Amino acid sequence: MRYRTLGRTGVKVSPYALGAMMFGAVGNPDHDDSIRIIHRALDAGINFIDTADMYSQGESEEIVGKALKGRRDDVVLATKARFPVNFDPTGATPVVPNRSGASRRWLIQALDDSLRRLGTDYVDLFQIHQPDPDTDIEETLSALTDLVRAGKVRAIGTSSLPASNLVQSHWVAERRGLTRLRTEQPPYSILNRGIEREVLPVVQEYGMGALVWSPLAGGLLTGRYRKGQENSTHRSRFGFRHLSDERRLDAVEELIKLAEYAGMPLTHLAIAFAIAHPGVTSAIIGPRTMEQLDDLLAGVDVTLTDEILDQIDEIVPPGTDIGRLDMAYNPPAIQQAHLRRRPADDRAAA
């Protein structure tokens, strides 16, 4: 495993980070099996684990905590907070006030809860899971700075933060003497290259580490989803629309042919692409089974030639997205029509 420096923190991490979202009720409910998967990853040289408090309502953190007993000092451990721990994407479960978001009040409580579940007194990286439009960035950075100074957190970062907000955060940190964001965790894959336009250049400009999630495009780049075929997989039961997007499936068919030409599985092509960008530190892999982990580990030494990268550029041009991931962040003004429309009376008066 050839380790890389996480931004300018001086911390060395593996180019594959083990994502723990699939450990627990949402993915693999067998704690012992999940722990074996974590240990297999560590034995293979992966030293970076990323989880979050909302994954299986805290169960993921509990599993990771069990797995790291006796091995904590050798692991760069990251977790996230922002959503309610009992997050329900359907909206059926009511959100309890002040038990989510990026406020000082919630982040301090959320981290303490995470530390308890993880069985540790600090995390190496504490991240804001998604932007919180209700909280001023100075409020968030101030709380995170205090957590760093208290020794509970070594570095701070974000996930899915737009480039403009990343620049704003660094400006606020400099002006107010607060701790700077050291990492950003955006979605990135062959099918979703939009971050190449602004996010990755900003990350590089400010010396941040980029930990990209969904390098397999939400499962599409596993090769198990084909055009014209009925899919019955673990992910398909969640009803993700990106798994049946015709434009994305067309690109997958071309990429399958390219992987065959390159003499490698599609998964290896996809992960190797994600970590080939100079602005990317690590790609987060999220295996649910030992078989899936072993498949990904088998491609750890794969390096794509310029010829293959050029052909990928032909299929999906740099800086473009083919469709979008259902899990990707959408700003409030995109989700809520009233935020991008003047009141009817004002429009009539104009």
- Catalytic, out of 3, 16, 55, 261: 55
What per-residue confidence (pLDDT) applies to 243? 81
Q: Which of 108, 105, 185, 117 is nearest to 152 (CA)?
A: 108
Q: Is 55 a catalytic residue?
A: yes
Domain locations in the chain as residue ranges: 4-349
What per-residue confidence (pLDDT) applies to 336? 87
Strands (E), 54-135: 76-81, 123-128
pTM confidence score: 0.92
The yes-or-no verdict on residue 267 having pLDDT over 60 is yes
User: For 257-263, which contacts have Cβ atoms below 8 Å and span 24 or more sequence positions?
Assistant: 258/308, 258/311, 258/312, 258/315, 259/223, 262/304, 262/308
Q: How many helices (H) and strands (E) does the chain have?
A: 12, 10
What is the tens place of the pLDDT at every residue in 195-236? 999 999 999 999 999 999 999 999 999 988 887 676 655 455
**Structure confidence at residue 281 as a pLDDT band (50, 70, 90):** very high
Residues 83-91: what's their mean pLDDT?
82
Q: Between 82 and 225, name the one with better pLDDT.
A: 82
Which amino acid type is present at position 4?
A: R
What is the tens place of the pLDDT at every residue in 158-167? 999 999 999 9
Which range is least confidently modeled, 28-32, 254-258, 308-312, 340-344?
A: 340-344
Cα separation of 209 and 207, whole Å?
7
Beta bridge partners of residue 159, listed in sequence order = 185
What per-residue confidence (pLDDT) applies to 93? 79
C-beta atoms surrounding 84 within 10 Å: 18
What per-residue confidence (pLDDT) applies to 1? 84
Cα separation of 33 and 23, whole Å?
9
Cα separation of 313 and 305, whole Å?
12
Listing DSSP states for 205-235 in one string gives HTT-EEEEB-TTGGGGGGS---TT----STG
Percent of the chain past pLDDT 90, that is, above it, reads 81
**Structure confidence at residue 171 as a pLDDT band (50, 70, 90):** very high
What per-residue confidence (pLDDT) applies to 186? 98
CATH superfamily, domain 4-349, is NADP-dependent oxidoreductase domain (3.20.20.100)
